[in-house]
Amino acid sequence: MPLKIYKMDASPPARAVLMMAELLELRHEAVDVNLMAGEHLTPDYLKKNPQHTVPVLEDGDFYLADSHAINTYLASKYGGPLSAQLYPADYQVRATINSRLFFDISAIQGATSPIVGALLSGAITSPTKEHIDKLNSGYEILDKYLQKTKFAAADHLTVADISLAASVSSASIMVPIDEKYSKLTAWFNTIQQEDWYKKANVPGLEAYKAFVFSRVK
């Protein structure tokens, strides 16, 4: 049975999983879940994921929610020769990757969602100072990590970079990355050259941009 990825292209975490699938050349079926039409709230979807979020991975009778958990699973189980690079077994490298993934959830993904919510509700037409400060503080920390290693968790690409690529590309549409974060800027430029980024992130990112600003006149 092929893997199924429940996704919406505009969703940053869904794009993180689509990028991983592209990088690993994973045969999979992509299933669109239209959040606007409430398809994530149907009894059937809630059985798969009580958190009613995209993405969800279906692997036989196994269901997994959260892009970070999904990508570590995919890299471990289906990464083949890339497993050792993307999610190494070494305890400290793996712990550093996990730390960056949790950092993404709280500092980048977590700082972006409230801005999207406020823009879509019509409460704001552009990010507030508080929104901007919070994301900049995430950028600053990521820049510091990137002063230590070429990529987010090591001197090579890991699972952490894939999640952060989805989140940073999305966040920077609303709060552009200041050039003073030179390591972050250089990392993002490198990531943007990657085929898996161009194929699996760029189209959805365009849809995300249109969606996020759809209420702004």
Between CA 152 and CA 154 the distance in angstroms is 6
- Strand pairing class (62-65; 56-59): antiparallel
The reply to whether 201 sits near ligand GSH by the rule CB under 6 A is no
The reply to whether 7 sits near ligand GSH by the rule CB under 6 A is no
How would you label 148-174 residue by residue, b for 16+ Cβ within 10 Å and e otherwise? ebebbbbeebbbbbbbbbbbbbbbbbb
The reply to whether 170 sits near ligand GSH by the rule CB under 6 A is no
Angle between helices 202-212 and 12-23 in degrees, nearest 10: 170
The reply to whether 12 sits near ligand GSH by the rule CB under 6 A is yes
In this complex, which beta carbon is closest to ligand GSH, that of residue 11 or of residue 72? Answer: 11
**Region binding ligand GSH by CB under 6 A among candidate stretches 66-74, 125-133, 135-143, 197-205:** 66-74
In this complex, which beta carbon is closest to ligand GSH, that of residue 120 or of residue 185? Answer: 120
State yes or no: is 11 an active-site residue.
yes
Interactions with ligand GSH, residue window 74-113 (CB under 6 A): 105
Contact residues for 179 (Cβ-Cβ < 8 A; gap 6+): 185
The reply to whether 158 sits near ligand GSH by the rule CB under 6 A is no
In this complex, which beta carbon is closest to ligand GSH, that of residue 66 or of residue 161? Answer: 66
Between CA 3 and CA 20 the distance in angstroms is 13
The reply to whether 35 sits near ligand GSH by the rule CB under 6 A is yes
Site size toward ligand GSH, by CB under 6 A: 13
Name residue 153's amino acid: A
Dmax over CA atoms of the chain, in Å, equals 50
Contact of 148 with 75, CB cutoff 8 Å: no
Q: Which of 11, 163, 169, 170 is catalytic?
A: 11
The reply to whether 161 sits near ligand GSH by the rule CB under 6 A is no
Smallest distance from the beta carbon of 197 to ligand GSH, in angstroms? Answer: 17
Identify the CA nearest to 100 among candidates 42, 168, 47.
Answer: 168
The reply to whether 124 sits near ligand GSH by the rule CB under 6 A is no
Residues in the chain: 217
In this complex, which beta carbon is closest to ligand GSH, that of residue 54 or of residue 75? Answer: 54
Smallest distance from the beta carbon of 52 to ligand GSH, in angstroms? Answer: 4
Contact residues for ligand GSH, defined by CB under 6 A = 11-13, 35, 40, 52-55, 66-68, 105
Catalytic residues: 11
